[in-house]
Amino acid sequence: MKLNLVCIPGDGIGPEIVAEAKKVLNRVAEKYGHEIIEKDILMGGASIDVHGVPLTEEAIAQAKAADAVLMGSIGGDTNTSPWYQLPPNLRPEAGLLALRKALNLFANLRPAYLYEELAAACPLKEEISRAGFDMLIMRELTGGLYFGERKTVEENGVRKAIDTLTYDENEIRRIAIKAFEVARKRRGKVTSVDKANVLDSSRLWRAVVNEVAADYPDVTLEHMLVDNCAMQLVKDPAQFDVILTENMFGDILSDEASMVTGSIGMLSSASLNDTKFGLYEPSHGSAPDIAGKNIANPIATVLSAAMMLRYSFDLDKEADAVEEAVRKVLKEGYRTADIMSEGCQKVSCSQMGDLLSERI
């Protein structure tokens, strides 16, 4: 199979962690008989330095022509980098927002998995963390409160701010379909999170999700109010498989879920459109303070590449192999600096990439 990829190394530690993900992907291609066609493009600060803008039209066209995009990290130190002296629309993160819009990436997937070997880093009680958890938050990314009409006015001498939360049934249906399709690749359960006891948008959300569920009799559906879900994530995270929710709720819950894993350096993510196309990236930032030191943790980027194999190419066996390689390396006691603990062996970013590749 030909895998036509665009890679965005980006800024900070981005080039280092993308290099290790490429190393692992090349090993997968070698073992399973695939051909990887890849092209690097500039985005963020790296693009500003060369082109004066965080994303060019040519880069967008190249991304659109690919089957998937693998990205490192975008941005720099907001206090010291000259990139942040520019107008907001010319700063590094504007490139990512423009790319998401151009590619119509409406579905954000954020896995939260607790590795047994890293359970000590989990902030939850031991009796909870001992059970482990493996969940995925499916967040609607292009609608809702963040994209509704907004204004600030003055009425009778009093300032008043208005933000509008809107969803139409088509926006809800397409993200629900994604959630059920992903659940079929996992453990077959969707928890749809809303605030249907208060909000009309949530009542429509629940009704449309129920309609979609009828086409997936093999997937279990439950509904949960968002405040209850926030409590359940710290009380019993093992109960969740796929959590489906709207933009603002997903923003908050995905950060909560990432925190209970104990290390953001292990967290992958994907943003998908209504085809198999996706943008895959680690959940962490560009960490400019450690850039170029070969000490960054590449595992989140490698796991993002595994998500790419699974969701954009339907290569589940290959994705399983990458995820199993991560488990093996951790079980053998190898750690990068951010997840180092007593009794383990510290390795560099590139060494971790080598170890992962050797175990494919």
The full 3-state SS of 213-246, as one line of letters, equals HCCCCCCEEEEEEHHHHHHHHHHCHHHCCEEEEC
Structure tokens at 12: 């900070």
pLDDT at 178: 96
pLDDT at 314: 95
pLDDT at 131: 87
Half-sphere exposure of 6 (CA within 13 A, CB side): 21
The predicted model gives 109-129 an average pLDDT of 89
Task: Give the largest Cα separation in the chain, rounded.
Answer: 71
Q: DSSP character for 137?
A: E
Residue type, 351: Q
Distance CA 94, CA 180 (A): 31
- Compute the chain's Rg from CA coordinates: 21
Nearest partner of 133 among 314, 256, 50, judged by Cα? 256
- The rounded mean pLDDT for the chain is 95
Q: Determine contact, residues 41/7, Cβ cutoff 8 Å.
A: yes
Distance CA 168, CA 201 (A): 8
pLDDT per position as a tens digit, 309-359: 999 999 999 999 999 999 999 999 999 999 998 899 999 999 999 999 999
Residue type, 59: A
Angle, helices 349-358/299-311, rounded to nearest 10 degrees: 40
Distance CA 101, CA 87 (A): 19
Domains for the chain: give ranges and CATH numbers. Answer: 1-114+268-360 (3.40.718.10), 123-261 (3.40.718.10)
Q: DSSP character for 67?
A: S
Say if residue 6's pLDDT is above 80. Answer: yes
Q: Determine contact, residues 301/17, Cβ cutoff 8 Å.
A: yes
pLDDT at 265: 77
Distance CA 346, CA 163 (A): 48
Q: Identify the band that residue 122 occupies on the pLDDT scale cut at 50, 70 and 90.
A: confident
pLDDT per position as a tens digit, 177-203: 999 999 999 999 999 999 999 999 999
pLDDT at 264: 76
Beta pairing class for 278-282 and 268-272:
antiparallel
The larger pLDDT score, comparing residue 355 to residue 283, is at 355
Q: DSSP character for 90?
A: G
C-alpha distances out from residue 43 to 19, 194, 244, 358, Å: 16, 35, 30, 31
Say if residue 205's pLDDT is above 90. Answer: yes
Distance CA 102, CA 100 (A): 6
What pTM was computed for the model?
Answer: 0.90
pLDDT per position as a tens digit, 50-99: 999 999 999 999 999 999 999 999 999 999 999 999 999 999 999 998 99
Task: Name residue, tokens 């300032």.
Answer: 159
Nearest partner of 73 among 58, 102, 95, judged by Cα? 95
C-alpha distances out from residue 316 to 28, 269, 305, Å: 12, 16, 12
Distance CA 165, CA 276 (A): 28
Which of the residues are catalytic? Answer: 146, 195, 227, 251, 255
pLDDT per position as a tens digit, 219-264: 999 999 999 999 999 999 999 999 999 999 999 999 999 888 877 7
